[in-house]
Amino acid sequence: MVTTRPCTAACVIDGSLVTLTFYPDNGVLRIADPSGTCIRETRWHASWRALLDEFRDYHEETAETSDTARGVDDIVARLGKRPAPAMRDMALA
């Protein structure tokens, strides 16, 4: 059975604190500002762990290249371009 409780994490994108809220039962990913206002809502069709790995990789790549992150729109576009990980990489809660 898949959990209906959301997974949440806070991170910094382009110098701004945001909150990630992922609902594994329907794949909704919400990115909100510190006041709780939804900045962007999209879908993620893989696990919470895979999502965190994508954000970590994004941060490491921009740090290695001394490139500045282009904000929420850039990371959401990146998520849309990545193929979903294989089912073997998914974890059930």
Say if CB 34 and CB 12 are below 8 A apart. no
Q: What's the confidence (pLDDT) of residue 30?
A: 96
Q: What's the confidence (pLDDT) of residue 93?
A: 47
Q: Residue 66's beta-bridge partner residues?
A: none
Average pLDDT for the chain? 81
- Report the distance separating Cα 8 and Cα 5, nearest Å: 10
Q: What is the 3-state secondary structure (H, E, C) of 44-70?
A: CCCCHHHHHHHHHHHHHHHHHCCCCCC
The reported pTM is 0.74
Residue 26 burial class via C-beta count within 10 angstroms: exposed 0-12, middle 13-18, buried 19 and up: exposed
